Amino acid sequence: MGYKTIVGLEIHVELATKHKVFCNCANEYGAEANTLVCPVCLGLPGALPVLDKEALEFGIKAGIAFNSKISNLVRMDRKNYFYPDLVKGYQISQADLPLCDGGYVEIELEEETKKINLERIHIEEDTGKQLHTDESSTLLDFNRCGVPLIEIVTKPDMSSAEEARLFLDKLRATLKYIGVSNVKMEEGSLRCDVNINVVNMESGKKSNISEIKNLNSFKGVVKAIEFEEKRHITLLEEGNNTERETRRWDESKGETILMRRKFGAADYRFAFDGDIPPVSLTEEEIDRIRESLPELPHDKKDRFIKEYELSSYDAGVLTQTKELASLFEDTVKYINDSKLVSNWIMGDVLRRLKDDELEIEDLKISSKDLADLLKLVKDGRINNNTGKKVLKEMFDTGKAPEVIVKEQGLIQISDEGELLSLIEKILDENEQSIIDYKNGKDRALGFLVGQIMKASKGKANPQLANKMLVEMINKR
């Protein structure tokens, strides 16, 4: 009996504006609790909200990037519900007239490209933050009240945890590319709700939808979907069904926990917010914002494939972030070898960043320094292994490769006369290895090359040394 999983996502993205969405308070992360507040974001009587222009433009940029239709009329609504950190008793959001209608994001599966359609993208304000203490009390920090959000709602087009992960990867990369959010999940800049149910492909019976709230890591999204998938299938096979409910993911237990029965739209009693006048947008204004967008990841990937003759995989890796793509392109300007640059960035540079727990923005080395290192390797002045050691030193100190090579005496020995005397000495000391090699034991050659590299302190040109070694053995 086969089952199909049906997944839709609701993604809340904090916008990286200078100010909050309806007041002039600074939009900053990490400030002392309750210092970035005013009568508007605290919901005090008589305070009037004013829609922030930058937040509106950022929302439009996101809609354009995700192929949505931008509304020419922006209207805000009140979404009524009680929550301890929602001080007004309602949230300013958008109901039946979202800023962005429809749209899609394409994800690449093993055998096809799949389009994940969007329902809508709308603007709203964030709530405050609850801080639970060890003394079983709860403190409230209202700095986050009024921080601008966009909520991106997908259609239920995903059918696995992996598809959801790919979608979120693409979404996050695009939002960062266009500069509307830092999308740092650890700071709460991107949070995700999952809506999931399953259908029995033989009988057509569906489980009721469960919503898993406020997942703050892609790993958590994947685990929550996989858990709920199994839970829904088990209930159907037992002749039961799920309730329409809201749940949360408990990382320590590895399971979802019931929070409450799921609300419907009527429970929120949406109503037009009369304190905020509607805003009309002309097509000219929307086009101006469209023209201000940078090259998007999928466009950049296509260009990298054509312009630099990279594989689809390599181009996909190098365009994951705008900073990584810039490092690649800037380096290629100094050394016209896109494949060499691609291999080093995708291999040693990304590995070093991961080992040192650094972001690409934290790099101490410039694209010119990286190109200079690759020229040393390409020209045979240092070998590949030495190049990796130099790169590590560049990461640690920020020094230029030429300086490191000179200080540590790392220039590769490519002089045949110098190598000749070195190889003769090694052969004189290892007669048995020569006999073994001539008797068909190929490992003996590797041993001799190793001895040469050891004696030269890694500076011998390995290709030239290997060639000369074979020639000299055959003459004996």
Domain 416-474 has CATH 1.10.10.410: yes
What one-character DSSP code corresponds to residue 382? S
Residue 417 has pLDDT above 80, yes or no: no
Structural domain boundaries of the chain? 3-285, 295-403, 416-474
Higher pLDDT, 52 or 432: 52
What one-character DSSP code corresponds to residue 155? -
| Cβ–Cβ < 8 Å for 59, 234 | no
Provide the pLDDT for residue 73.
Answer: 97
Pairing state between β 190-200 and 3-14: antiparallel
Which amino acid appears at position 434 of this protein? I
Range scoring the smallest mean pLDDT among 246-250, 269-273, 387-391, 403-407: 403-407
**Residue 304 tokens, joined:** 């990298």
Q: Collapse the DSSP code of 274 into the 3-class scheme (helix H, G, I; strand E, B; otherwise coil) and give the result.
A: coil
What mean pLDDT comes out for the span 198-221?
Answer: 92
pLDDT tens readout for residues 177-189: 999 999 998 888 9
Contact partners, residue 15, CB within 8 Å, separation at least 6: 21, 27, 54, 55, 58, 59, 147, 148, 149, 150, 180, 181
Other C-beta atoms lying within 10 Å of the C-beta of residue 354: 9
What percent of the chain stands above pLDDT 90? 65
Other C-beta atoms lying within 10 Å of the C-beta of residue 385: 12
Nearest in space to 318 (alpha carbons), one of 342, 294, 334: 342
Q: Left if phi > 0, otherwise alpha if psi is -120 to 50, otherwise beta: which for 309? A: left
Provide the pLDDT for residue 265.
Answer: 63
Residue 292 has pLDDT above 90, yes or no: yes
Residue 263 has pLDDT above 70, yes or no: no
What one-character DSSP code corresponds to residue 206? B
Q: Collapse the DSSP code of 134 into the 3-class scheme (helix H, G, I; strand E, B; otherwise coil) and give the result.
A: coil
Q: Evaluate if pTM is beyond 0.85.
A: no
What one-character DSSP code corresponds to residue 413? B
Residue 1 has pLDDT above 70, yes or no: no
Residue 35 has pLDDT above 70, yes or no: yes
pLDDT tens readout for residues 349-387: 999 998 888 888 888 889 999 999 999 999 878 888 889
What mean pLDDT comes out for the span 464-469?
Answer: 80
Average pLDDT, the chain: 91
Q: Where residue 221 falls among pLDDT bands split at 50, 70, 90?
A: very high
Provide the pLDDT for residue 36.
Answer: 97
Rounded CA gap, 281 and 284, in Å?
8
Provide the pLDDT for residue 220.
Answer: 94
| Cβ–Cβ < 8 Å for 220, 254 | no
| Cβ–Cβ < 8 Å for 183, 150 | no
Residue 450 has pLDDT above 70, yes or no: yes
Partner residues linked to 152 by β-bridges: 11, 121
Rounded CA gap, 265 and 347, in Å?
49
Higher pLDDT, 196 or 452: 196
